[in-house]
Chains A and B, each alone.
Chain A
Amino acid sequence: MTASSEFPKPSSPRFLRPPHCFPPPYTQPAKAPSPRLRPRALLSSPPMATAPAPLSLSASTLPARLRAGAVPAGARWRQARRGRMVVRAKIREIFMPALSSTMTEGKIVSWSAGEGDRVSKGDAVVVVESDKADMDVETFHDGIVAAVLVQAGESAPVGAPIALLAESEEEVPLALAKAQELSNGQPQQAPPAPTEDAAAAPPPPPPAPATPPAPVAAGTKGVASPHAKKLAKQHRVDLAKVTGTGPYGRITPADIEAAARIQPKSKPAAAPPPVAAPSVGAVPQAAVLPPVPGATVVPFTTMQAAVSKNMVESLAVPAFRVGYPIVTDKLDELYEKVKPKGVTMTVLLAKAAAMALAQHPVVNASCRDGKSFTYNSNINIAVAVAIDGGLITPVLQDADKLDIYLLSQNWKDLVKKARAKQLQPNEYSSGTFTLSNLGMFGVDRFDAILPPGQGAIMAVGASKPTVVADKDGFFSVKNKMLVNVTADHRIVYGADLAAFLQTFAKIVEDPESLTL
């Protein structure tokens, strides 16, 4: 059963196209159906899909063994391959057929047969809408429609299973378990199935919500609203096990959604999302506030949505901040000198940060799993850039190794691409440390939010003439800027950051090394 995770591709020879559509470019299997006017539902057995031996239909069905579980399934599986075993039960998948040569996916218009219906060979079981027309699709086999995997109104790619057909009543629960597995995307209890033995591992016990069909109109108790019933069928929720919270104890759509553990308002356009395992960094969705009367609501662009997501994710990281005042007179002098050569302040700061990071690798590290340090081999400085309607962080790669002239050239290219929205993913997502500079606006200090996947971010304020007293008590006026670094305290501790900042300050205050 677990092998069912492997579906035949439309191009696979195992996948039978309706005979009349176009001539199959492969040898027809022995029991190929005689041509009919109506295309038939394509039935095949996934476990055997990759078996090299010539197959008959009986051999290509799933061994009934799976429900007994006493004999190691793998043994029986091999038996089956030797063709000696008596097949006792079959569960077949009904696939989305290719109704035209250009069809890549089909929409289920309606199921002529419902779950629990017994169908005979040649019966129309489903109406499929292709890119050209609606067509009735027949089944090749007798059996019971055990589980509908793709509901009416939903689409599936050609070749994807859309329903399971059980040969007899006994196989229905088995098929339902399989359906559950399929709808979870990958088998969860069983390991992935690269080998035959693993492929035939016993199935997980049928999960609780799997239920025989048609309990819907069981009685007047457990009244469910029309939409609740539809949802229950779609998500395979047993109405008898749901407690209604609606008026008069009625089961409402919300009750079903709660029972199926799905987000309300999930549109049926997408297949029911698999129940996501709660991830460590999962952050609850922010509650939606009531609308403000008269306000204009503008949905996020993709970039804005990405920013929003990243910012919310940062809340899962225990961040702390350390500030440091730095005298920039010499840096400013240097800047005046290199400016005609196209070097910007941003590049100078990035280079300084990169040089400091080289001495403090932990600040360039990141914490990816909450359990370990990930030391990055490169020092890639991401620099936050405001672009029209958003924010992006082009990355100066290997900023410690390249000289400032080369970095400046790279930077110019990156900014150009960023404005044209042509940055490649590795050009904005490969940063190991981020620099954010608002000094040009006159901001004297600010505080940055740590981007996911990085250990620290530096916020640089404006450099301003400030009266400073030196250690001998002499006052003088120097240009001073405040930098503020936000870091992930799981890996970067206060002293680490302080030491890093000290190094950074030294480089900035004596910037000759930047030009080396």
Chain B
Amino acid sequence: MSHCSLLCQFFISEISAGIRLQCTVCHGTARMGNKQTIFTSQQLDAYQDCTYFTRKEILRLFHRYRDLAPQLVPLDYTNEPDVRLPYELIGSMPELKDNPFRQRIAEVFSEDGQGNMTLDDFLDMFSVMSEMAPRDLKAYYAFKIYDFNNDDFICKSDLEKTLNKLTRNELTEDEVRMVCEKVIDEADLDNDGRLSLEDFQHMILRAPDFLSTFHIRI
């Protein structure tokens, strides 16, 4: 469906699952994800209730997940197989490959904390990073991503690591130190020298750009 993918996208609704669509102009066909064999309808309901995706998007994401390792991921998920893709595969996705925070993102959303993700973790990651997720939820996960040592506070070393990743180590020592001091000065509300989740969320409330930057399109 090369030329008319636009029109077909326009009119596709999420009820038409398991049906073959044929474009009347170019006679190209597309098959909507044949959900009867991948997920049961209860599973799809559950995923729909737990993420910000529709059925069509969940199936599309499943196919993206499967494309990373077709030999590891079965086509039949009705029995809840315990399949975990290693971090190297997740980090090789084009959307994450060059992102300096990809390791932290994978670690935060994975169950084992090492970046090896199941399908649930995969869906969770892209659901939180999608544009429908609310600000508080995104702020929570952003906090966890920037908290490199997982002590539930963003301390100075976390800030230094964040800055070095943002700027690819281009800033000098002094500049990094000054920026960290300024950040803690401005954002630390309870004066303990590091940012807690409340400080971070309070700061995010005042940030106009956060929702549009903390967003991955998939």
Do A and B bind?
no
A→B interface (CB under 8 Å): none
B→A interface (CB under 8 Å): none
